Amino acid sequence: PAASVESLMERASHILQSTFKLKSLRPLQKTAIQGALGGNSQIVIMATGGGKSLCYQLPTLACGSTYNQTARNSRVTIVVCPLIALMIDQVNNLMKKGVMTAACWSSSHSAKDKAHIMKRLSVEKEKPTKKASTKSDNVELTPIQMLYVTPELIETQRFRDVLMKLHSANRLFMFAIDEAHCLSTWGHDFRPAYRKLTWISESFQDVPIMACTGTATAQVINDIRSTLGFGNEVPCHLGTFNRPNIGYKVKYKDSLNTEPQGAINDLIKEVKKQHVTAEKAKQPCAGIIYVHKREDCQSLATQIYKSTGILAAAYHAGLKDAERDDTQRKWCDGRIKVAVATVAFGMGIDLPHVRYVIHWTMSKSLEGFYQESGRAGRDGFPSESILYYSKDDASKFTFLVNKNAEKARQKTGQRDGKVAQKLDRALLEIEGMVDYCVKPGCKRQYVLSHFGEKIDPKKLCQKTCDYCINPRKVEMAIQASECASAVVNSQKSWHAHRKNASEKKYHHNPTASDESLGEYESDDGFGMGRDEGLLGITSYAGDDEMIQEPPARKGGFMKASSVLKKYETLECQQGKRNGFINFKTRTV
Ligand code: ADP
C-alpha cells in the first residue's frame, strides 16, 4: 500500500539526519519535499546555496527506501542538468558520501557507460546467466536512484527508450529540472536544448516535475510554466533572495582614474586586503574577478600577480578546454587564488570559501550580476561583492547591444519585431544595472526589489552595503564619478574639436540661465559642457592643460585633475553656487 505523505515525511527527516547528517530542513525545503512526496509538480526558487538539490534528492531517497529496491523495481529521478562538470561533481559527491546511487548520461560518457547504465536500470533485455552472480556483479547492478542527463541528450532515441521503459514499468519517480531558468530567453543563460523539456511534460503527464532555479523574475517563471505545461495549480515556492553574508559595494573607475592607473591600483589593493585578512584569520580564501574582454583577463591576472605575489590566472572561452579545466581545478584546490574571468566561468561552481567577487566590468543585467556575485560566500561566512562602475563600460554595452540588433536586422532583411523587443529588453537590463551603480539607496534592497522582494533595509541590510554604511559618502562618490566622466568626455570632445578649429575663443553665454547647462560656449558654437552634464566648469582641456573657471567668479586656471580633486573635496553642494564651481549635474 502507498505510504502516506506524513509517514514519508517522517522517513525523510530520519534520512536527513542519518544520511545527509543535517539537523533540520529549511522552511522552503520542507514545503517542496512535502509536495514531491505527494507526487506534485512544482517550481522551487531559491537563492544560490539555498539547498535546492536536497529538495529532489531527499524525496527520491525517502520514497525509494519504501521499496525493497533492486535494479528492476527501483524508482528513478531524472535530473536535467546544464553542465557535464556539474553533474559529474554532484554524482561523485553523492556516491562519496554514500548518500545514494547516481549516474550521468551525457555526451562525455561512452556508449559502454551508457550500456552499463541501462543494465543497472534494468531496461536492457535481460540476459539471464546461469552462473550464480558474483560479488562484483552485484555491485555492477546496484540500482540507480538518480540519473543525471544533459538537456541535449534527453530527446535522443536511446534516452527516450530508457524513459519509456522506466515509465511503462511505473518506475519514473520524478523529473528534476536544475537551473530551469535556462529554458527562458529572459534568463541570463538561455539554452535552446531546454526547450525540449516540453516533450517530457507532454509524454509523461503523470510524472511530477520539479523545476529548480535561482532566478525569479515574472517572465522567467511564466516561461517555465508554459514550457513545462504547468497550469495554475502548480505551486511556485519562492524563497528569499537575500544573501545576508554578502556585502555590496560599488566603486567608480572614472573618479579613481583621475590618478594614473588609479582604478587598477585600487583593485589590486582590494584583492590584497582580502587575502591578507583571510590569512590572518587562517581561513581559506578564493576570489573571482569578472571582466568583459578576454584580453583583459590575462593582463589583469599578470598585474595582480606582479604587484602582490598572489597567484591569479585568466579564464575565458578563448582558451583551450584543457587550459580552462586546469585553471578551474587549481582554483578549486587553492593553488590559484584568483580567477580573472569572463562570465564563461562560474556556472555550477560550488567552492564554499569564495570570499569576494569583483566585477571589473559591470554585468549586462542585474540578473547576471546577482548570479555572479552570488558565487561568493556559499559557506555562510562574510564575503564581499565589489563592482567597479564606469560610464564608459555602460555606453560600450549599449553600443554593442545596438550593433548586434542592427546586425540581426540586416540578417532578417527588415525591421523585425522580435529584434526590437530583444533590443528593448537588453537596453532595459543595462539600465537596471547602471541604476544599481548610480542611484543612491540600499544596494541589497535594490537587488532584492528586482526579484520582487520588499525589504526594510534597516532591518535586513544592517549596514552591509556601502550605502547603508555611509549614504553621504556614496552620494558624493556618485557625483564625483559623474563629474569625472564628464571631464574625461569633454577632454575627448576638446581634442576632437581642436583638430578642426584653429581659433578658440570662449565667451559667456548670457542667455543661458544659471540652472542650465552649457553656460559657456565657444565662438563657433562648440557646446562646452552641454552634453557633459556639467554646469560652470570650463573643463574643456586635456589633463595636462590649463582650464579656465568661469570668469564671472574668481577663478584663474587650473588643471582638469585639480578641478576634480576640488570638486570632491568641496563636498558637492548640489545645486548651489559656492563661488568656485557650481555642482549642478544633470544626466543628459
Ligand atoms: P543550491 O543548489 O540551491 O545552490 P545546494 O543544494 O548546493 O544549493 O546546497 C548548498 C549548501 O547548503 C550545501 O552545502 C548543502 O549541504 C547545504 N544545505 C542544504 N540544505 C541544508 C539544510 N537543511 N541545513 C543545512 N545545510 C543545508
Q: Could you read off the pLDDT of 10-47 as tens digits, one per residue?
A: 999 999 999 999 999 988 999 999 999 999 999 999 98
188 CA distance to ligand 1 middle (Å): 23
267 CA distance to ligand 1 middle (Å): 31
Any ligand 1 atom below 6 A from CB of 375: no
Percent of the chain whose predicted confidence (pLDDT) is above 70: 77
**Residue closest by Cα to atom 10 of ligand 1:** 49
Q: Are 102 and 94 in contact (CB under 8 A)?
A: yes
Q: Is the pLDDT confidence value at 493 over 90?
A: no
Any ligand 1 atom below 6 A from CB of 347: no
**Residue closest by Cα to atom 16 of ligand 1:** 51
pTM of the model: 0.70
- Pairing between β-strand 506-508 and β-strand 520-522 as defined by DSSP bridges: antiparallel
**Residue closest by Cα to atom 18 of ligand 1:** 51
pLDDT of 530: 30
**Residue closest by Cα to atom 25 of ligand 1:** 22
pLDDT of 108: 84
Give the mean pLDDT of 417-427: 84
Could you give the C-alpha distances from 329 to 94, 326, 451, in angstroms and in order? Answer: 20, 5, 33
235 CA distance to ligand 1 middle (Å): 21
145 CA distance to ligand 1 middle (Å): 20
Q: Is the pLDDT confidence value at 526 over 50?
A: no
Burial of 322 (0-12, 13-18, 19+ CB in 10 A): exposed
User: Which is nearest to 81 in space by CA: 166, 151, 128?
Assistant: 151
ipTM of the predicted assembly exceeds 0.90? yes
Q: Is the pLDDT confidence value at 135 over 50?
A: no
Any ligand 1 atom below 6 A from CB of 53: yes
| CA 517/CA 568 separation, integer angstroms | 20
Give the mean pLDDT of 143-157: 91
Could you give the C-alpha distances from 189 to 200, 206, 215, 294, 330, in angstroms and in order? Answer: 21, 29, 10, 19, 25
DSSP 194: G
Give the mean pLDDT of 469-475: 93
Q: Are 8 and 37 in contact (CB under 8 A)?
A: yes
| CA 421/CA 536 separation, integer angstroms | 40
* Max CA separation in the chain (angstroms): 106
pLDDT digits over 323-346, tens only?
A: 998 999 999 999 999 999 999 888
Give the mean pLDDT of 137-161: 82
Ligand 1: nearest atom to the Cα of 24: 23
Dig out the grid coordinates for 343 from the structure. Answer: 562570465
Q: Identify the band that residue 75 occupies on the pLDDT scale cut at 50, 70 and 90.
A: confident
Q: Identify the band that residue 419 occupies on the pLDDT scale cut at 50, 70 and 90.
A: confident
Ligand 1: nearest atom to the Cα of 352: 14
Pocket test for ligand 1, best of 22, 30, 93 (most atoms within 8 A of CB): 22
| CA 205/CA 453 separation, integer angstroms | 33
Top pLDDT among 578 and 231 is at 231
Q: Which residue has the cell 604587484?
A: 307
**Residue closest by Cα to atom 26 of ligand 1:** 22
Per the DSSP assignment, residues forming a β-bridge with 251 are 388
Q: Is the pLDDT confidence value at 577 over 90?
A: no
* Cα angle for residues 60, 65, 71 (degrees, 5° grid): 85
Alpha helices, H only, 204-353: 218-227, 253-256, 262-280, 294-308, 321-332
The winner for highest mean pLDDT among 99-103, 258-262, 469-473 is 469-473
pLDDT of 141: 65
Any ligand 1 atom below 6 A from CB of 530: no
Top pLDDT among 572 and 236 is at 236
pLDDT digits over 393-404, tens only?
A: 999 999 999 988
Any ligand 1 atom below 6 A from CB of 49: yes
User: Which is nearest to 221 in space by CA: 205, 198, 238, 207?
Assistant: 238
Least confidently predicted of 21-25, 133-137, 532-536: 532-536
pLDDT digits over 542-556, tens only?
A: 333 333 333 333 332
Q: Identify the band that residue 420 occupies on the pLDDT scale cut at 50, 70 and 90.
A: confident
Per the DSSP assignment, residues forming a β-bridge with 210 are 42, 176
Give the mean pLDDT of 280-301: 95
**Residue closest by Cα to atom 2 of ligand 1:** 52
Q: Identify the band that residue 48 occupies on the pLDDT scale cut at 50, 70 and 90.
A: confident
Q: Identify the band that residue 270 occupies on the pLDDT scale cut at 50, 70 and 90.
A: very high
54 CA distance to ligand 1 middle (Å): 7
pLDDT of 547: 36
Q: Is the pLDDT confidence value at 558 over 70?
A: no
| CA 560/CA 587 separation, integer angstroms | 20
Any ligand 1 atom below 6 A from CB of 26: yes
Give the mean pLDDT of 452-481: 88
pLDDT digits over 379-393, tens only?
A: 889 999 999 999 999
The winner for highest mean pLDDT among 252-266, 446-460, 484-498 is 252-266
Q: Is the pLDDT confidence value at 504 over 80?
A: no
14 CA distance to ligand 1 middle (Å): 17
Any ligand 1 atom below 6 A from CB of 22: yes
Pocket test for ligand 1, best of 44, 53, 86, 241 (most atoms within 8 A of CB): 53
pLDDT of 350: 76
53 CA distance to ligand 1 middle (Å): 7
Dig out the grid coordinates for 41 from the structure. Answer: 509538480
pLDDT of 73: 62
| CA 383/CA 373 separation, integer angstroms | 10
pLDDT of 523: 32
Mean model confidence pLDDT for the chain = 79
Q: Identify the band that residue 431 occupies on the pLDDT scale cut at 50, 70 and 90.
A: very high
Query: Residues 432, 434, 435, 436: is their CA dihedral positive or negative?
Result: positive
**Residue closest by Cα to atom 23 of ligand 1:** 25
Any ligand 1 atom below 6 A from CB of 425: no
pLDDT of 79: 97
Any ligand 1 atom below 6 A from CB of 48: yes
**Residue closest by Cα to atom 9 of ligand 1:** 51
230 CA distance to ligand 1 middle (Å): 26
DSSP 99: S
Top pLDDT among 108 and 298 is at 298
Q: Identify the band that residue 215 occupies on the pLDDT scale cut at 50, 70 and 90.
A: confident
- Give the relative orientation of helices 366-373 and 417-438 as an angle to the nearest 10 degrees: 50
Could you give the C-alpha distances from 571 to 377, 475, 480, 482, in angstroms and in order? Answer: 35, 10, 9, 14
- Pairing between β-strand 338-341 and β-strand 312-315 as defined by DSSP bridges: parallel
Q: Are 214 and 364 in contact (CB under 8 A)?
A: no
